[in-house]
Structure 1
Amino acid sequence: MSTTVPPLKPGSASNARLMLARLKLRVSGHINQGLYSRKTRLGLRRDLTLPLERPSAKIPISVRPLIQGDLDILLPQVSNDHPEALEIHWRRNFLRKAPRGCFVAVDMRDGTPCYMQWLFSAKENAVVESIGGFPRLESDEALLENAYTPPSHRGLRIMSEAMARIAEAAGPMGARYVFTFVGEENIASLKGCQRSGFHPHLLHHRSRFCFGVFRSDRFEQLSENDERRSLQF
């Protein structure tokens, strides 16, 4: 069962804090981008018809759709000086854009949600387009996006197993291929994705102009003989 985050009341203190956090994130991002910046991400793809020895986390987990009660555990209300504040505000805002399609991994030792990630099918192309930075999905494709593990459960290899399980939920949606995008410098995430059955398939060339006000996204499919297809991270 999917859930929707209740809207913030106009003029509330929570609304003011969230607006301030968004402004800080936007300003920080624009300063880092400068007048012009370029970044390349790898588009990794998993073929669900190929066998996969699913990786195991260091703790027993199960996977299910997000429910309302998960939010205060995964995305608690925190002050803006909290080290996870921007990560949490960003995902609460993302949930407003995409109220459906979020899955969580649950620590089976005590029932605590310990990981979250969104899965979109081609039916959600309008949502994917509104988020920006992703190619349009074909009818047999799906997209995994915006993974998050709270600090309490990091270092337990939850991402690899959870990602593998969530990707498999795309099969009943009619998808054969599942994509995810990772910065080419993020070796830890690339390793986790590879353990989950994902391998390089696309390059995403992202350009930003005038401190991020304008942007351009170009997607390039790797040729069959491109050695990046067989990279081991």
Structure 2
Amino acid sequence: MRIGSGQGADFRMDRNERLDGLGAKVTRRLQEGPYGKRVLIGLRRDLAVPFSTPTPKIPISLREFRVEDLAVLFPAADGIAAERERTDIMWRLRSVEDGILRSRCFVAIDETSDRPCHIQWITDGYSDAIRITAALPELSHDEALLENAYTPSAYRGLGLMPAVTGRIAERAAENGVRFAVAFIDRRNFASLRGGQRAGLLPWQIQTQRQYGFGLIRRVSFEPIHGTPNFSYHTQCN
């Protein structure tokens, strides 16, 4: 199975953009501190099982990402969170360009204004270096990873994430994907609920640990038995 490596309209990064990305990476490393732990919930949907994708509160269409979407999707008013997502987008686009990440980026368009209102990636492969550095799971030939869903603050509360997630998953199924998976921070209740509304069910618990400002990373995966209450995971250490 191959989803492809589409990245929008002829994206190229110049030298200054690459240096900015390196500076942001160094800053993130320092912010991680000498030790850190993060727990994520792995969700999975069997795309062979019929499911009705939820309808958002505004009419939307789906298309590939374009570079000019960045300013609209990540406005300065959205603060640090938007800047962090923007930096990650630049890294992903560079990785796709370099051929070490098989991923496609989709953008939802508000049909009432023709403005981008949500962005999300789907990935079906990456190099071992990326997998280890980013603490990503190994993907089988029939799995694809839904990643980095982001909705600008002006469009939140309209049910965009589950609607877009469902539509992207359906496109993946047309390309031979059997299972769509996603890993979401255990404290991000809105995204966890959104994933479930898109038909993804609790599947694994991923625990990430880093030491020495991210120079050493460890990741483990444990199966989830039954259907957990996400509030339970807030009690995990």
**How does the TM-score come out when normalised to structure 1?**
0.81
Does residue 66 in structure 1 map to residue 65 in structure 2?
yes
- Secondary structure of 1:98's counterpart equals helix
Residues 25, 49 of structure 1: alpha-carbon distance in 2 compared, 3 angstrom cutoff: same
Farther off after superposition, 47-56 or 190-199: 47-56
Does residue 27 in structure 1 map to residue 30 in structure 2?
yes
Is contact 1:39–1:206 with CA below 8 Å preserved after alignment?
A: yes
Count of aligned pairs between the two proteins: 218
How far residue 230 of structure 1 moved from its aligned partner, in angstroms, is 5.1
Does residue 2 in structure 1 map to residue 3 in structure 2?
no
Q: Which runs of 5+ in 2 are unaligned?
A: 1-5, 98-102, 232-237
For the aligned residue pairs, the C-alpha RMSD in angstroms reads 2.7
How far residue 135 of structure 1 moved from its aligned partner, in angstroms, is 1.4
1:73-109 CA-to-partner distances (Å, cap 9, x unmatched) read 3246x69x77732332232223222354111111111
Is contact 2:43–2:202 with CA below 8 Å preserved after alignment?
A: yes
Q: Which runs of 5+ in 1 are unaligned?
A: none
Letter in 2 for 1:5: F
1:153-211 CA-to-partner distances (Å, cap 9, x unmatched) read 22222111011111111112211101000111211110110000011111112111123
How far residue 57 of structure 1 moved from its aligned partner, in angstroms, is 1.3
Letter in 2 for 1:125: Y
How far residue 24 of structure 1 moved from its aligned partner, in angstroms, is 2.8
Match of 1:217 in 2: 219
Is contact 1:125–1:136 with CA below 8 Å preserved after alignment?
A: no
Match of 2:51 in 1: 52
Q: Provide the C-alpha distance between the structure 2 equivalents of 1:83 and 1:146, rounded to a whole number of angstroms.
A: 12
Q: Provide the C-alpha distance between the structure 2 equivalents of 1:187 and 1:23, rounded to a whole number of angstroms.
A: 29
Residues 52, 209 of structure 1: alpha-carbon distance in 2 compared, 3 angstrom cutoff: same
Letter in 2 for 1:57: P
**How does the TM-score come out when normalised to structure 2?**
0.80
Q: Provide the C-alpha distance between the structure 2 equivalents of 1:140 and 1:60, rounded to a whole number of angstroms.
A: 31
Q: Provide the C-alpha distance between the structure 1 equivalents of 2:80 and 2:229, rounded to a whole number of angstroms.
A: 37
Does residue 95 in structure 1 map to residue 101 in structure 2?
no
Report the identity percentage: 33
